[in-house]
Amino acid sequence: MPIHNEDIAVIFDEMADLLDIENANPFRVRAYRNAARTIRGLGHELEQMLANGTDLTTLQGIGTSLAAKIEEIIASGHAEALDKLHKEVPASLEDLLHIPGLGPKRVRVLYQDLNIKTLKQLQHAASSGQLRKLPGFGAKTEQRILESIKSQRSQDKRFLHHTAHLYADPLVTYLEAVPGVKQVVVAGSYRRGQETVGDLDILVSAKDDSPVMQQFVDYDEVTEVISKGSTRATVFLRNGLQVDLRVVELQSFGAALHYFTGNKAHNIKIRKLAQQRGLKINEYGVFRGDKRISGKTEESIFKAVGLPYIQAELRNGDQEIKAAQQHKLPELITYGDLKGDLHVHSKASDGHASIEEMARSARKLGLKYIAITDHSQSLKVAHGLDEARLHKQLEAIDRLNAKFSDFKILKGSEVDILEDGRLDYHDSILSQLDIVIVAVHSKFHLSRARQTTRILRAIESKYITMLAHPSGRLLGERSAYDVDMSRVITAASERGCYLELNSQPQRLDLNDTYCQQAKQQGVLVSINSDAHGPADFDNLAGGIHQARRGWLEKRDVLNSRPLGQLIKLLNATRC
């Protein structure tokens, strides 16, 4: 059975949690967490990378010891170190970690002070007021824990789109190879490019005698078959992802694809338009009375209600119908529109490849330029560059650029915004850079007023080019910090600088709403990979999905410009 990146990341996360409960060395705990984050962000399966001879220690945060554990997991399906931890820490404590607000440190306090090992014991202690007496808890925390326990079973597990893709892609390939299968498409929130997905809806058209249903439930990743009929089956994969398969007649395929792609609000609006024309639309087609008049393609569905084709990423029932009626649908950005990547790291800070290796990898993908933006000096955990090291890097970039006739390496830095809004380098240093990306990497819990003021002050800086990962969120791990993003976008518009859409799978930051706000205020967005190694350039595909959900067109994206135009736009940000 194949081992996916998510399988390995889950093991490393679990090891980090258990080590944290044991109060192990914090650097060791952080190493496992960082490794899990790196693994989730990879565009290729580690199992295949290992088979291809890739040195895993070239990946961000993966040293010799962790690389050996990855090889062990791929070879055996488990890690001996985790098995050992399971003997040292009560297994039931892991259930407590699934309660929002209960991190490993609080679980350790519960275990040590109240001998709480299970959810039932936790609920009893919270109900009887015992938790509020513990250091770091309080009455409000106690109440939140009670509410979380009650709602836990009703919460559906969601997966990063990037993670779901790593499972969906091989499953689609598998189904396409089944005899008699003609089409296979993943619909639902996955096709709309949502940041996270709860399940996969797969539509198949096939010949009547195709064994697709049986082969679907026999897929080697399937661990539980919920139902299986002649045209529909539901299963769970090994990682807990639910997959629904529907076999659809060819003449209804477009109707079904439309029905199972758009969200509820979009579909309701389309049905109302149909009703106004005396038609009925459902998953089987468009009907006038009992006669089906279209449904084979999605285009025919939209045409039947007088609309042009609406791209899947826009089908959220918000404003796409009105825009289509007014012929104002955007011509959405595509991957091929990108000319470069303006947020790239090297091993000078926390990357795992040289500048030249990153440049050659980007060039091989068809990009025309990159900006090397290693961390500034205050970010010690990422080996940020002091002024002397930065100067040496700039000289090295000059030498490398002499090697290329059709590719450009821009000089940049990802500069920390300090707590008071000052930048981590003096203007004398910033003035020597082609691009200055500023970012918040600390003090995430400042008040809304202080965090907003901090970022606004940074945006006023003379040499700033763009604000990186503007909300600071990590999907499924860390919420966005409290900031007035509308004020930030307005400030960027007035200042004449840019905003980043960071394509790292856990970030996808800006979100779609703020992408639209930026577009409306004329603020260009840069779709960047935040690459720390050559494989991370694959992140750009996820950024494109997010940009399309945010209605961005080629003209709205900074790094869709050829190098000459880009340089003019970068220079224009300098006050």
Lowest mean pLDDT among 142-151, 169-178, 218-227: 142-151
Same-domain pairing of 149 and 165: no
Q: Which of 247, 268, 291 is the last residue of a domain?
A: 247
Q: Give the number of domains in the chain.
A: 4
Mean pLDDT over the full length of the chain: 93
User: What mean pLDDT comes out for the span 10-34?
Assistant: 89
Q: What CATH number does residue 390 fall under?
A: 3.20.20.140
Q: How confident is the model at residue 154 (pLDDT cuts 50, 70, 90)?
A: very low
Same-domain pairing of 522 and 545: yes
CA distance 174 to 169: 9
Same-domain pairing of 459 and 547: yes
Q: What CATH number does residue 15 fall under?
A: 1.10.150.110
Question: So what's the pLDDT on residue 453?
Answer: 97
pLDDT at 281 over 70: yes
Evaluate whether residue 404 is within a structural domain. yes
Same-domain pairing of 280 and 217: no
Same-domain pairing of 447 and 551: yes
CA distance 537 to 413: 18
371-390 in b/e form (b: 16+ CB < 10 A) is bbbbbbbbbeebebbeeeeb
Same-domain pairing of 287 and 222: no
Evaluate whether residue 288 is within a structural domain. yes
pLDDT at 330 over 60: yes
Same-domain pairing of 300 and 402: no
Same-domain pairing of 207 and 305: no
Q: What CATH number does residue 220 fall under?
A: 3.30.460.10
Evaluate whether residue 330 is within a structural domain. no
Same-domain pairing of 30 and 65: yes
Q: How confident is the model at residue 151 (pLDDT cuts 50, 70, 90)?
A: low
User: What mean pLDDT comes out for the span 380-403?
Assistant: 93
Evaluate whether residue 501 is within a structural domain. yes
453-462 in b/e form (b: 16+ CB < 10 A) is bbbbbbbebe
User: What mean pLDDT comes out for the span 252-267?
Assistant: 96
CA distance 432 to 131: 55
pLDDT digits (tens, 9 = 90+) for 497-528: 999 999 999 999 999 999 999 999 999 999 99
- Domain span at 481: 335-572
CA distance 39 to 31: 12
- Type of residue found at 358: M
Same-domain pairing of 349 and 320: no
User: What mean pLDDT comes out for the span 164-185?
Assistant: 96
Same-domain pairing of 466 and 361: yes
**Length of the chain, please?**
575
Lowest mean pLDDT among 91-95, 312-316, 375-379, 549-553: 91-95
pLDDT at 337 over 70: yes
pTM: 0.83
Q: What CATH number does residue 293 fall under?
A: 3.30.210.10
Same-domain pairing of 222 and 272: no
Evaluate whether residue 149 is within a structural domain. yes
**Who's near 290: CB < 8 A, 6+ residues apart?**
none
User: What mean pLDDT comes out for the span 132-150?
Assistant: 82
pLDDT at 38 over 80: yes
User: What mean pLDDT comes out for the span 226-243?
Assistant: 93
Give the angle subtended at the CA of 385 by the CAs of 445 and 439, to the nearest 5°: 30
pLDDT digits (tens, 9 = 90+) for 488-500: 999 999 999 999 9
